Structure formats: C-alpha cells, structure tokens
Amino acid sequence: MIVRESGKNLQMMSTADLQGKTILVTGAAKRVGAVIARGCTVPGAYLTLHYHASEREAHALQSELNLQRANSVMLVKADLLETAGLAEIVKTCVERFGSLDALVNNAWRHSTRRRSARSAVRTGTSSSARI
C-alpha cells in the first residue's frame, strides 16, 4: 500500500493504482530505496531508478526488475544537490516512458566532512577538529 495526499486527506493506494504509471524513485540503488522500487514493480508500471554513487547496485537492481518485465526500468545517475540537472532527470524519464506520474523522494546524503572530523578526533590525528 502507498499513501497519497488528496486535498487534505491521506488515501491508501493499492499496487493496482500504479498500473500504467511511471514512477521515479530517488536513492533507489540499495536499502530502503531498493525495497520501494521492488514494491513499485507491478504489471504496466515503469520505473526510473535514481542513484548517485551506487552504480553496481543500481545496475544489479535494474537487471533484477527488468527480468520481471523487460525494458520497464531505466537508471539515471545524478547528484541531486546539483539542482541545475534536476529538469534533465524528468526530461529523460518522460522521453523514455512518455510521462512521469509519481515521485518517491528517498535520496539522502550524509556529511563525509562531519564523519571525517569525528574520525580525526577519535584517532587523535587532529587536535582542532570540530564536531
């Protein structure tokens, strides 16, 4: 089941509601995004799976899902923080499948700078690292 907003009410959607729709799932290559993508794989639905760095996982998931229905899944690689390229993602999806009907915004990005600072403090390599 999928929840959608209709006016001020939330409505439950069944997978049958996805038939004939094109869905873009961001951060789809692994973990929750991959589970969401698999859940959106219904007869008649088309998927555009976004990934940033997880290329190997994205291609594996695309192959897996295209075995269920050939040519129903495409990949787009993009850094979503580069907002100038967002329109190109939509354009690519529409050119391939004819529409974009739903967006599942699952992508996130952790701060490697913050993690690096913590690591430096733990290992004692920097006395000026701020957390």
Asked if the structure places residue 129 within a domain, the reply is no
Asked if the structure places residue 130 within a domain, the reply is no
Asked if the structure places residue 131 within a domain, the reply is no
Q: CB neighbours (10 Å) of residue 50?
A: 25
Give the chain's domain count: 1
Identify the domain containing residue 12 by its residue range: 2-123
Q: What is the CATH number of the domain that holds 7?
A: 3.40.50.720
Asked if the structure places residue 128 within a domain, the reply is no
Tens digit of each residue's pLDDT, the chain (131 residues): 455 556 666 666 677 788 899 999 999 999 999 999 999 998 899 999 999 999 999 999 999 999 999 999 999 999 999 999 999 999 999 999 999 999 999 998 765 555 444 444 444 444 443 33
pLDDT of 17: 82
CA-CA distances (angstroms) from residue 94 to 21, 90, 100?
A: 11, 6, 6
Assign residue 77 a region (left: φ > 0; alpha: ψ between -120 and 50; beta: otherwise): beta
pLDDT of 14: 74
Asked if the structure places residue 76 within a domain, the reply is yes
Asked if the structure places residue 12 within a domain, the reply is yes
Asked if the structure places residue 23 within a domain, the reply is yes
